[in-house]
Structure 1
Amino acid sequence: MEGLKDKVIVFAGAGEIADGVAKFLGAGGAKIVVGDIVKENAERCVACIIEAGGDGIATKTDISNPEQVKALIDLAISEYGKINGLFNVAANINPTEVVKDTNPVDIDLADWQRNIDINLTGFMLTSKYAIPHILEAGGGSIVNTVSDALYAGMPDKVTYSVTKAGIGAMTRNVASRFGKQGIRCNAVSPGLVMTESGLQNSEQIVGMVLQMIPAPRVGKPEDMGSIVAFLLSDMSEWITGQSICVDGGAVMRT
């Protein structure tokens, strides 16, 4: 993909979607600095970009911790001298905590706050510390990961839904506030994205999703990888403030 050569992109979070993005960035000659609370996930993401032809560094980062987020941004500057983009993909997916995210009546305040800290405040912190460096580099791109929960009413996962809506609002705030200074900010909303092994182990879930979407298959990491890499590249320089669904048509809006 054009418009990625020698760009330095900070990843806040790792995982299968980040791996897919890293492959496209690597093929375009980009460099990434990946921070994830599980360092092994960050290292796997870096391995993906190096294998594809790019470069990268992995570090352990809890994005709900301001000092650790600043350290992640500082690492990118110390190693590569600049930041051209930011990809926010972290989320609280700890199974023991996810099941506690229920509804406004039943949720414990501590569980609510923990999800807010990771899923929303963490994205604000990465933007807070990265934007000044992106401005110094002459502008760039920020891509935030949201969810179909932003658009669909869900009987549970109240905090998850609220944080994704908040990220959508913050995306438009950053796009409008810093657009004249050369920063673009967009959100991507993934549907069910699965690896080949995941497809084999989740046939029932896949079947249910396929009944609800127009597309003939569920998503692959490469589906997200191509659109995020495009938004981080110079090829998308007239796209900003948008929320793009990459979900096989699960959400159709007018």
Structure 2
Amino acid sequence: MEGLKGKVVVFAGAGGIATATAQFLGAGGAKLIVGDISEAAAGRTIQAAVDAGGEGIALAVDISNEDRVKSQIDLAVKEYGKIDGLFNVAANIHPDEVARDTNVVDIDLAAWQRTMDVNLTGYLLALKHAIPHMVEAGGGSVVNAISNAAYAGMEDKVAYSVTKAGIGALTRHVARKYGKSGVRANSVSPGLVLTEQTKLNLPEEYRDMILATTPAPRHGKAADIGAMVAFLLSDLSEWVTGQSICVDGGTTMRP
């Protein structure tokens, strides 16, 4: 993909979608700094970029810990001299906390708080420390991962849904506040993407039910999302900002 060569992009989060994005960015000649609560996962994402022709650094970062987030941003600037992009893709996926994310009456408040700390406050922290460097460099691009849970009412997963809606508002705030400084911000909302983790966690009958209501003839692949994120991080999208883009096979259709 054009418009990526030499760009320095920070990833807050690793895993399937991040790894697919790293492949596109690496092929375009970008340099990545990937932080994840699992350093091994961050390493696999960096390796995908390296195998595609890029380079990068992996490290262990809990996105809810401001000191660790700042250290990652500082490392990017120290090693590569600038930050051109930020991809916020981390999420609270601890099985126990996900199971306790139910509804407004029954939710475990500890699970609520941890989801807020990771899915929403963590994104804020990454933005807080990355944006000044983008402004100093004359601009940059932010991509935040959200979900169609931000638009649809869900009977359960209230904390997850609220954080995803909040990320949409956070994205628009950044686009509005820092646009004149050359900083763009967009969010990408994936549909059901068949990563290895999804295949393990979602029964086949559930996946079939979702596909039956999807206009597209197949489920998503991580590369579908990675291609859109890479486009938004590239110079090819320099007049796209403040948008929430659904990459979900047509599941979500909005005017």
Distance of aligned partners of 1:196 and 1:165 in 2 relative to their CA distance in 1, 3 Å threshold = closer
* Alpha-carbon distance in 1 for matches of 2:56, 2:241: 26
Q: For residue 160 of structure 1, what is the aligned residue in structure 2?
A: 160
For 2:136 and 2:206, locate their aligned partners in 1 and report how far apart those are by CA, in whole Å. Answer: 46
Q: CA deviation at 1:136?
A: 1.5
Aligned twin of 2:23: 23
Show the counterpart of 2:73: 73
Percent identity between matched residues is 64
Q: For the residues of structure 2 that align with 1:224 and 1:107, how far apart are their CA atoms?
A: 31
Is 1:5 the counterpart of 2:5? The answer is yes
- Consecutive aligned runs of 4 or more in structure 1 exceeding 6 Å deviation: none
Query: Cα gap change, 1:65/1:197 in structure 2, threshold over 3 Å: closer, same or farther?
Result: closer
- Answering whether residue 205 of structure 2 is matched by residue 207 of structure 1, we say no
- Give, in angstroms, the shift of residue 206 of structure 1: 2.6
Pairwise CA distance, 1:122 = 0.2
1:85 aligns with 2:85: yes
Deviation at 1:197, TM superposition (A): 9.0
Partner SS for 2:68: helix
CA distance in 2, matches of 1:202, 1:235: 38
Q: 2: distance between equivalents of 1:228 and 1:197?
A: 20
Paired residue type of 1:150: A
For residues 1-254 of structure 1, what are the structure 2 equivalents within 5 Å? 1-195=1-195, 202-254=203-255
Check 1:34–1:196 CA distance in 2 against 1; reply closer, same or farther (3 A cut). closer
Residue identity opposite 1:252 in structure 2: M
Scaled by the length of structure 2, what TM-score is found?
A: 0.97
Unaligned runs of 5+ in 2: none
Give, in whole Å, the separation in 2 of the partners of 1:81 and 1:179: 22
Q: How many residues align?
A: 254
Are the structure 2 counterparts of residues 121 and 197 from structure 1 closer, same or farther at C-alpha, using a change threshold of 3 Å? closer
For residue 214 of structure 1, what is the amino acid of its counterpart? P
Deviation (angstroms), 1:195: 3.8
Following the alignment from structure 1 to structure 2, what is the Cα–Cα distance between the partners of residues 198 and 161? 18
Tell me the secondary structure at the aligned position of residue 99 of structure 1: helix
How much does 1:203 deviate? 3.1
Unaligned 5+ residue runs, structure 1?
none
CA distance in 1, matches of 2:157, 2:186: 23
Distance 1:69 1:197, change over 3 A: closer
TM-score by length of 1: 0.97
TM-align CA RMSD: 1.4
Per-residue CA distance 1:170-225 (angstroms, 9 max, x = gap): 10000000001100000000011114796698532331121010000000011001
Q: For residue 93 of structure 1, what is the amino acid of its counterpart?
A: I
CA-CA distance at 1:4 after TM superposition:
0.2
